[in-house]
């Protein structure tokens, strides 16, 4: 089966979307659902950039209130509710968050209470409880290892977590494809096609096949995240650089003595910036840093200084943790595609998104954007696309139509039925639901075709062999890294999937026709890829 349609240069697309992060996938889904002919391209895999490097929170942006961005907070809270209640309840779940208050810190009890009241007032959530203030004793019950010296209490509030942010993008891409969009990964845009000052499409290279192609459309949306300026090079778009990206790094550790049962949102002792310690995927996720970045966008890694900073701050917040470099399972880093700002603190750069026009008619770029508000960004971008095409935008449907993994009438009822009918071990059954939602039934049907497909490829996670086959046949995986890191999610386990890589390749040999050369090459390429996560730091 050919990856690139033979007639792609003759196809008349309405729009080319460059970048298959959560924003680009969201735009492609919305546009295709409204009847537009869309081509979505990415030089890597779906969600392999900034989307995969987030803190995995779907949050209202409590700290944005300090910067006066009330509109952004209101929008974020509205989108959080949309994801929780209908669009992605299988991926987005409520997350209790503790905000401890200490004597002598910049934010006192009155300030925190005022912020929480404003947060509650701005939220229309019917899914999450309002905040409440806890006594020091109540705080210790939820986070036994938290520093007690000077502890005045804490605010307990609720946001949400998307445990596997990669899956949120993947499901948007699957929905876009189901609605008629053409989705091509490992398709690098070489340059926009411009004629008489107007966009006419793009030239792109199939990085797996080697061929170069043209695709034609009167509208290009550059949603390449931190690579936005690279896409614009040579287009004549002008206007200078748009992106002033900041790097955010995280460390992943096992739960330590006194680890919190809720997420903890605290102030770093050294610089006062907020950082999180979040229960995540059976481990703890600690992050994030925030500093300007001008390095290689294709290999962003946490450096020793960032790792030590995050460990120091965690140990200050949780003296019982006593974390050392040896406790770090792995790290990950990404670059936020924020608007360029030459001066000022990194944390003060707005997290709002902008859709910037260029000197080329029909060529627009997405600057900024948050995981939480990707759907709203997409809605605005598609409205703009219709207007640019001289057409009235039909109503957006993406807030009302669930993603594929939530496309059942009652997801809780589906979960109960699936658990009752599954013949897999409980760990495997629970894992399928967390990763695939309602589509877990499809994976289970596949697993029942052959006993080997029901067997785990990772004892830690319970990921089964059928998921490997499903990733390539049904979810557009092209490489072992796609399969392990952004489809099955086994690559986020304590050994970054290295325990599963050989078994997964064996499954691909038996059921997908890989030969020995491809299997060994994919294993080696995967091992090389995950070196950036510095497993076993």
For the domain bounded by 408-533, which CATH number is listed? 1.10.8
Residues with Cβ within 8 Å of residue 345, at least 6 apart in sequence: none
Fold match between domain 8-50+166-243+350-388 and domain 408-533: no
Tokens standing for residue 465: 């062999």
pLDDT per residue as tens digits for the range 95-123: 999 999 999 777 778 888 888 898 888 88
Tokens standing for residue 116: 């929480």
Q: What is the DSSP string of 247-284?
A: EEEEEEE---TT--SSEEEEE-TTT--EEEEEEETTEE
**Residue 250 buriedness (CB in 10 A; 0-12 / 13-18 / 19+):** buried
- Percent helix, strand, coil in the chain (nearest 5)? 40, 20, 40
Q: How far is CA 289 from CA 246, 292, 325, 417, in A?
A: 9, 10, 17, 42
How far apart, in whole angstroms, are the C-alpha atoms of residue 363 and residue 224?
13
Q: How far is CA 399 from CA 191, 352, 378, in A?
A: 33, 20, 11
Residue written as tokens 């290999």?
299
Specify the CATH number for 8-50+166-243+350-388; select among 3.50.50.60, 3.90.1150.10, 3.40.50.2300, 3.30.70.1140.
3.50.50.60
Q: What is the pTM of this model?
A: 0.95
* Topology classification of domain 92-161+245-336: D-Amino Acid Oxidase; Chain A, domain 2 (3.30.9)
pLDDT per residue as tens digits for the range 302-351: 999 999 999 999 999 999 999 999 999 999 999 999 888 654 454 445 66
The pLDDT averaged over each successive group of 10 residues in the chain (537 residues) is: 85 97 98 98 97 94 80 92 95 96 83 88 85 95 95 95 98 98 98 96 96 97 97 84 92 96 91 91 95 93 95 96 96 93 54 88 94 97 97 98 96 96 97 98 97 97 98 98 98 97 98 98 98 79
The per-type count for the chain, helices as H runs and strands as E runs, is 15, 19
CA-closest candidate to residue 161, choices 371, 18, 404, 6: 371
pLDDT per residue as tens digits for the range 55-72: 999 998 887 887 778 888
- Domain extent listing, the chain: 8-50+166-243+350-388, 92-161+245-336, 408-533
Instruction: List, in sequence order, every residue forming a beta bridge with 25; answer none if it has no partner.
Output: none
């Amino acid at each position: 089966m050919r990856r690139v349609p033979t007639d792609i240069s003759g196809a008349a697309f309405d729009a080319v979307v460059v970048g298959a992060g959560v924003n680009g996938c969201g735009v492609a889904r919305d546009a295709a659902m409204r009847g537009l002919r869309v081509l979505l391209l990415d030089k890597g895999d779906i969600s392999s950039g900034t989307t995969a490097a987030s803190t995995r929170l779907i949050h209202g942006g409590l700290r944005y209130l300090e910067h006066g961005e009330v509109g952004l907070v209101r929008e974020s809270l509205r989108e959080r509710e949309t994801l929780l209640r209908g669009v992605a309840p299988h991926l987005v779940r409520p997350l209790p968050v503790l905000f401890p208050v200490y004597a002598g810190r910049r934010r006192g009890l009155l300030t925190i209470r005022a912020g929480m009241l404003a947060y509650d007032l701005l939220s229309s959530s019917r899914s999450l409880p309002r905040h409440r203030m806890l006594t020091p004793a109540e705080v210790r019950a939820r986070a036994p290892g938290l520093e007690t010296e000077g502890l005045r209490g804490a605010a307990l509030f609720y946001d949400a977590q998307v445990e596997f942010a990669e899956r949120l993008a993947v499901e948007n891409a699957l929905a876009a494809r189901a609605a008629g969009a053409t989705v091509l990964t490992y398709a690098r845009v070489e340059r926009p096609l411009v004629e008489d000052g107007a966009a006419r499409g793009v030239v792109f290279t199939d990085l797996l096949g080697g061929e170069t192609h043209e695709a034609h459309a009167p509208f290009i949306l550059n949603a390449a995240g931190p690579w936005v300026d690279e896409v614009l090079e040579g287009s004549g778009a002008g206007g200078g650089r748009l992106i002033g990206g900041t790097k955010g790094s995280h460390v992943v550790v096992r739960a330590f003595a006194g680890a919190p049962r809720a997420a903890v949102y605290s102030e770093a002792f050294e610089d006062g910036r907020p950082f999180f310690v979040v229960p995540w995927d059976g481990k703890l996720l600690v992050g994030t840093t925030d500093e300007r970045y001008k390095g290689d966008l294709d290999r962003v890694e946490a450096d020793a200084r960032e790792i030590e900073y995050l460990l120091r701050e965690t140990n200050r917040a949780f003296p019982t943790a006593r974390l050392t470099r040896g406790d770090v399972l792995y790290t990950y880093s990404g670059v936020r595609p924020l608007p360029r700002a030459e001066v000022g603190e990194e944390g003060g750069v707005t997290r709002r998104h902008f859709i910037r026009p260029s000197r080329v008619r029909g060529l627009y770029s997405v600057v900024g954007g948050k995981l939480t508000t990707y759907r709203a960004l997409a809605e605005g971008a598609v409205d703009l696309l219709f207007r640019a095409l001289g057409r009235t935008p039909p109503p957006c449907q993406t807030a009302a139509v669930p993603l594929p993994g939530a496309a059942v009438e009652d997801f809780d009822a589906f979960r109960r039925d699936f658990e009752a009918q599954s013949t897999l071990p409980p760990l495997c059954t629970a894992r399928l639901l967390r990763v695939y939602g309602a589509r877990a039934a499809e994976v289970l049907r596949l697993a029942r075709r052959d006993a080997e497909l029901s067997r785990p490829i990772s004892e830690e996670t319970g990921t089964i062999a059928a998921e490997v086959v499903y990733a390539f046949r049904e979810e557009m995986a092209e490489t072992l890294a796609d399969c392990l890191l952004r489809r099955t999610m086994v690559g986020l386990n304590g050994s970054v999937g290295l325990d599963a890589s050989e078994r997964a390749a064996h499954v691909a040999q038996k059921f997908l026709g890989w030969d020995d050369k491809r299997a060994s090459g994919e294993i080696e390429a995967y091992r090389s890829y995950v070196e950036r996560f510095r497993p076993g730091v």
